[in-house]
Amino acid sequence: MKLLRRSILMLGLGLTSFVASADTDTIKTRWADVKVDTVASGLNHPWGLAFLGDGRMLVTERAGNLRIVAADGSVGEPISGLPEIKVRGQGGLFDLRLSPNFSNDNLIYFSYSEPETAGSDITSTAVARARLENNKLHDVKVIFSQQPKVMGGRHYGGRLAFSANGDFLFIGLGDHGHRQDDVQKLDNHTGKLVRIHPDGSVPKSNPFVNQADAKPEIWSYGHRNIQGMDIQPTTGQLWTVEHGPQGGDEVNMPKAGLNYGWPVITHGEQYGGGEVGIGFKKDGMEQPIWHWTPSIAVSGVAFYQGSQFPQWQGNLLATGLKGQQVARLEVNGDHIIHQETLNLKRRIREVKVSPDGSIYLLTDEPKGAILRLSAVK
Amino acid sequence: MKLLRRSILMLGLGLTSFVASADTDTIKTRWADVKVDTVASGLNHPWGLAFLGDGRMLVTERAGNLRIVAADGSVGEPISGLPEIKVRGQGGLFDLRLSPNFSNDNLIYFSYSEPETAGSDITSTAVARARLENNKLHDVKVIFSQQPKVMGGRHYGGRLAFSANGDFLFIGLGDHGHRQDDVQKLDNHTGKLVRIHPDGSVPKSNPFVNQADAKPEIWSYGHRNIQGMDIQPTTGQLWTVEHGPQGGDEVNMPKAGLNYGWPVITHGEQYGGGEVGIGFKKDGMEQPIWHWTPSIAVSGVAFYQGSQFPQWQGNLLATGLKGQQVARLEVNGDHIIHQETLNLKRRIREVKVSPDGSIYLLTDEPKGAILRLSAVK
């Protein structure tokens, strides 16, 4: 804790005048009345959030900025030192995670749309790490860069998650929207879930490290666009969510080397109607744990643990963009056994459980907000 | 087939003038537009249905009658020869199943509220078999009688299902509403799922046959009120649904000797609010495959197989009384991975898939109907 506090002081503040409005709303749910507060506002498509431990937060804006938001909702000036980020279409600055050893190393990890050369529209998803000090990034190092880079601005994936022991970093990727033929092949990172060490090296235990022509970073494949990831606290298992086409947004528990079926199988359908691929099922391809059909445009996920909502322990919270919701999914082992929908009436990009058990949401808007869900006492 | 046809001719008709109305409605769903026709009406709380193979159906009325309904919706005179049935509260005539060998033996099996002595209000759920011939039951034999019989008219269970090979008959029971202390004990049939041979004898492979003071018919325990049962065609596994208190209606796959938790654990709550038992989970007690909270008052279930709704193959259809719906549950292995709700706007008691792939529903009303769901061409 002493080290953590020192680190936080080192980050610097640089506050501006974005302060939370006093808007408060209440959502009635089965087990709790949920108060919705606006913590901060004026963020340009906020995408990722990390708690710094003293009430402050690090927040990414898809528009390409990384900011500190104070406990009172004050939004800081952009942190300097980011690499070049191509902000175009769905591309921009995506997720961030603190180093598992952040209190000692001050390192952060972030994902973004990386251009092939300065200014190029040919991009893919990259992950960099950097040391955060005095509102500035130092020693920025790109530890992963999705191959191939392609023209186009869709389906970047971009969500990050550290394994429970901190030894591995998972990176969720997408199919770029028009590179479906690559998704079932292993010689590229298109539509893959990738696992690397935090220094960017490839784990020897990855499933395809000894397979010629396979990218060694691949953990699992056949993904359309992974948008949310979290580690289940009780098991250490990674859970992911991804967008399906029109329908078939999925929850998966990706296992080493397995094929999650896109674009061959899906529970969704073509925009405008008609089947995608060959249908719902195929031998050798995994079924999802859960799917939303029609699509909610699922985005972030987080397992709930905390004292605010004692009945929700272990539930998986999943946010929806088009669905404008938090879906509360009750989990038993590797099953979903119940869903309750909290209607937020705003596009929600990400969900994080705060240290005090309240739940923070990011709204996907040009003047986006941080919302906080807490229990009505 | 020759034998089956002969059997059907032997059943006799005795038609009255209840004829289907021409009401037709359409429900839009993800994969099909569903036409809702009224096949027959004027049935007094119909509860169970079996297809006789030539378009005719056998239907139970909770009010205590068993009738043949012709393909054109004509409702026959009551079949005579039923044992005494106590029609009171939720009690009456419940489910029926044709013998797996019906085309040869003309036997039917039915469940009902059986009084202790003639006219008594002390009842429990019994199962009888009888030979159906010329609109009359012959050689009626009670093959199971739930012990103990108690005063009260609630939570009888009553649903029946034959195992895939026809060697076993499962009988779903309830807790009588006020005998919760018995449900976790094995010396009675309260809140149990029972398995017997079709002649009423106890299978030697039942889980508690060698346990002193345990009722040997018990297959599983800790059930509140089993209301629907069907065998999964692809696996032969029994699936059941039961009512929870206010919330926590459950889907289970009851396994031999296991404890399904009532009244110790439940996902429901006390009427008027407050927790039931100790909460959701306990070691040694099974979690449901799925639960509805708030309750839909789940009633019948059937696995879909057929040509009318090709996208629904293998789905579990579950009906709701209070929920006035058919819940279409997509199944993967022993998981539910998606739910779609078809709003019928009437209390639905039971669901059966007909030989032509259309879906028959019974409405729980004093002048109840048989509805048919088919695909809009």
- Judge whether A335 counts as a catalytic residue: no
From A45, A155, A267, A291, the catalytic residue: A155
Instruction: Give the residues across from B339 on adjacent strands.
Output: B329
Give A329's contacts in chain B (Cβ within 8 Å): none
Strand pairing class (A46-51; A238-242): unpaired
Percent of chain B beyond pLDDT 90? Answer: 87
Question: Across the interface, do A288 and B337 touch by the CB < 8 Å criterion?
Answer: yes
Rounded to 5°, angle at Cα B138 from B9 and B118: 140
Give A296's contacts in chain B (Cβ within 8 Å): none
Residues of A near B (Cβ–Cβ under 8 Å) read 30, 247, 267, 280, 287-294, 311, 330, 332-340
Instruction: Give the residues across from A91 on adjacent strands.
Output: A88
Of A369, A304, A367, A366, the residue nearest A340 (C-alpha): A304
Give B332's contacts in chain A (Cβ within 8 Å): 287-288
- Beta-carbon contacts of residue A368 (< 8 Å; ≥ 6 apart): A41, A42, A43, A44, A45, A46, A61, A349, A362
Question: Across the interface, do B290 and A340 touch by the CB < 8 Å criterion?
Answer: no
The chain-wide mean pLDDT, for chain A, equals: 93
**How many Å lie between the alpha carbon of A298 and the closest alpha carbon of chain B?**
14
The chain-wide mean pLDDT, for chain B, equals: 93
Of B59, B153, B55, the residue nearest B113 (C-alpha): B153
- How far is it, in rounded angstroms, from Cα A118 to Cα A116? 7
Q: How many domains does chain A have?
A: 1
Q: How many CB pairs below 8 A link A and B?
A: 53
The region, left, alpha or beta by phi > 0 then psi within -120 to 50, assigned to residue B89 is left
Token pair for residue A214?
Answer: 């396979």
Of A233, A337, A88, A105, the residue nearest B291 (C-alpha): A337
Q: What is the ipTM of this complex?
A: 0.88
Each residue of A38-92: pLDDT tens digit? Answer: 999 999 999 999 999 989 999 999 999 999 999 999 999 999 999 999 999 999 9
Please answer whether residues A247 and A270 qualify as being in contact, where contact means their C-beta atoms are separated by less than 8 angstroms: no
Question: What's the pLDDT at B23?
Answer: 57
Q: Which of A30, A289, A311 sits opposite B337 (nearest CB)?
A: A289
- At position B219, the amino acid (one-letter code) is W
Give A333's contacts in chain B (Cβ within 8 Å): 287
Q: What is the CATH number of the domain that holds A262?
A: 2.120.10.30
Question: What's the pLDDT at A356?
Answer: 96
For the cut 50, the answer to whether the pLDDT of residue B156 exceeds it is yes
- At position B239, the amino acid (one-letter code) is W
Where are the alpha helices (H) located in chain B, listed in sequence order?
2-11, 102-105, 180-183
Please answer whether residues B227 and B236 qualify as being in contact, where contact means their C-beta atoms are separated by less than 8 angstroms: no
Each residue of A304-347: pLDDT tens digit? Answer: 999 999 999 999 999 999 999 999 999 999 999 999 999 999 99
For the cut 60, the answer to whether the pLDDT of residue B58 exceeds it is yes
Question: Across the interface, do A267 and B339 touch by the CB < 8 Å criterion?
Answer: no
Which residues of chain A fall short of a pLDDT of 70? 1-23
Residues of B near A (Cβ–Cβ under 8 Å) read 30, 247, 267, 280, 287-294, 311, 330, 332-340
Question: What's the pLDDT at A9?
Answer: 40
Can you give the residue range of the structural domain that contains B96? 2-375
